[in-house]
Amino acid sequence: MPTDPAIPFNRSSIAGSEIEHIRDAVASGQIAGNQAYARRCQNFLKETLGVPEALMTTSCTHALEMAALLLGFEPGDEVILPTYTFVSTANAFVLRGARPIFCDIRPDTLNLDETRIESLITGRTRAIVPVHYAGVGCEMDAILEIARRHGIGVVEDNAHGLFGKYRGRPLGSFGQLSVQSFHETKNITCGEGGALLINDLSLFERAEIIREKGTDRARFFRGEVDKYTWVDIGSSYVMSDVLAAFLFGQLEAWQSIQQKRQTIWERYDNDLREWCAAHGVRQPSVPAHCEQAWHLYYLLMPDPPSQAALISHLKERGIGAVFHYRPLHLSPFALQWGNQAGQCPVAEDVSDRIVRLPLFYALSPGEQDRVIGAILEFDA
């Protein structure tokens, strides 16, 4: 029996003029940071998301590190974040000596549970970092109100949520600072890359300096100072224009990328509905006031054994389905802060039951047929 080619969990592909733009960038002779394509990407983000400033960065992780620096995190300060997220959401602040305070998630959207935030706030809390899981907005009205009442910052980790909206307003436009990821697993990509969105303009000048190794190089190139020099702490967080050129090709094609992802997402949701109902499997829940970003499609299996069984059933058929996010509060590194099992029961339960399905721009209808067919054959 001939075996079908494997269907990976994710596969990168070209969506438009990425390669032409790279040739053009190289031909210009200027491929370091802060060049023409990076500026085009920044202008695109500013216009499309309605944010006042955007800076391209080497990764979302680095944009988070910049946010921790800009908000003045010091050893002993605390940051509140969902336990169910990627490790960088915590590490960026831990690098500054901060203590991560892990909050549980909502059972419906798997987002930061806004009703649990206030009880975690102390005199040392400096910021809340909501993560728009799967590209569905967190309850930003409640989160912004809590932050305002306690005089603390909000950094949106919008790695999943580019082009999503909450009550009609783009995700990424709510926090003082927001971060984007263009890692290959994200909707729009250049392999590795990110952006810092700056809604609080008082942070912009220092953001430019921190991103340019602690120098006022950006002001020098605008002709605002006659030489550039070391003025603050900083690092090397600027995206190369080779990557920005690739990324701009993806951003130009954003509508067709998002449309394709929506089609795939909706087909999973429709074609698996009956099977899910018959097998006690929960499908994603998207509140009516959230326009989601179609970042990922997941199934919540009835119990941990069925999670493992479905993943290996699909693997035997050459299909890459995966779980993710072991809750950060239970990771070996987080034990030093006295975290323990049972502290975030929803996240602990979800991480043992979630299965994510292949969802990427180049997934063909025939490949999706195979994924759906294989799931319908599975009897947990």
Ligand X SMILES: *Cc1c(COP(=O)(O)O)cnc(C)c1O
**131: which residues sit within 8 A by CB, 6+ positions away?**
81, 82, 84, 85, 86, 89, 111, 112, 138, 157, 159, 160
Please state the closest distance from residue 191 (CB atom) to ligand X, in A.
10
Amino acid at residue number 362 = A
Token pair 């400096």 is found at 126
In the complex with ligand X, which residue's Cβ is closer, 272 or 359? 359
The answer to whether the CB of 197 falls within 8 A of the CB of 49 is yes
In the complex with ligand X, which residue's Cβ is closer, 160 or 313? 160
Q: Of how many residues is the chain composed?
A: 380
159 binds ligand X (CB under 6 A): yes
In the complex with ligand X, which residue's Cβ is closer, 187 or 306? 187
The answer to whether the CB of 197 falls within 8 A of the CB of 173 is yes
Please state the closest distance from residue 49 (CB atom) to ligand X, in A.
17
160 binds ligand X (CB under 6 A): yes
164 binds ligand X (CB under 6 A): no
157 binds ligand X (CB under 6 A): yes
Please state the closest distance from residue 86 (CB atom) to ligand X, in A.
4
Instruction: List the interface residues with ligand X, window 70-109 (CB under 6 A).
Output: 85-86, 88-89
Please state the closest distance from residue 181 (CB atom) to ligand X, in A.
3
261 binds ligand X (CB under 6 A): no
In the complex with ligand X, which residue's Cβ is closer, 49 or 281? 49
Please state the closest distance from residue 161 (CB atom) to ligand X, in A.
9
User: Residue 287 CA to chain centroid, in angstroms?
Assistant: 19
Please state the closest distance from residue 156 (CB atom) to ligand X, in A.
10
Residue of 181, 189, 240, 250 interacting with ligand X (CB under 6 A):
181
Piece of the chain touching ligand X by CB under 6 A; list 48-56, 72-80, 103-111, 157-165 = 157-165
Torsion of CA 143, 149, 155, 157, to 10 degrees: -10
Phi, psi for residue 277 in degrees, rounded to 5: -60, -40
Residue of 11, 150, 183, 279 interacting with ligand X (CB under 6 A):
183
Please state the closest distance from residue 228 (CB atom) to ligand X, in A.
27
Please state the closest distance from residue 164 (CB atom) to ligand X, in A.
13
Q: Whole-angstrom Cα distance, residue 258 to residue 294?
A: 7
Residue of 10, 35, 42, 61 interacting with ligand X (CB under 6 A):
61
* Residue 240, helix vs strand vs coil: strand
In the complex with ligand X, which residue's Cβ is closer, 281 or 328? 328
CA 197 vs CA 36, 242, 272, 361: distances in Å: 18, 21, 37, 25
Token pair 């992780």 is found at 61
35 binds ligand X (CB under 6 A): no
In the complex with ligand X, which residue's Cβ is closer, 89 or 250? 89
Q: Is 271 exposed, middle or buried (0-12, 13-18, 19+ CB in 10 A)?
A: middle
Please state the closest distance from residue 200 (CB atom) to ligand X, in A.
20
Token pair 């909450």 is found at 166
Number of residues that bind ligand X (CB under 6 A): 14
In the complex with ligand X, which residue's Cβ is closer, 258 or 306? 258
59 binds ligand X (CB under 6 A): yes
Count CA within 13 A, CB hemisphere, residue 291.
10
In the complex with ligand X, which residue's Cβ is closer, 155 or 299? 155
* Other residues' Cβ atoms within 10 Å of the Cβ of residue 185: 15
Instruction: List the interface residues with ligand X, window 117-156 (CB under 6 A).
Output: 131
Please state the closest distance from residue 157 (CB atom) to ligand X, in A.
5
Torsion of CA 364, 366, 367, 370, to 10 degrees: 160
Which stretches does DSSP call E strand in the chain? Answer: 53-57, 78-82, 99-103, 125-128, 153-157, 165-166, 169-170, 177-181, 194-198, 290-291, 298-300, 354-356
Q: Whole-angstrom Cα distance, residue 353 to residue 326?
A: 11
In the complex with ligand X, which residue's Cβ is closer, 130 or 249? 130
Which residue ranges make up the site for ligand X (CB under 6 A)? 59-61, 85-86, 88-89, 131, 157, 159-160, 181, 183, 194
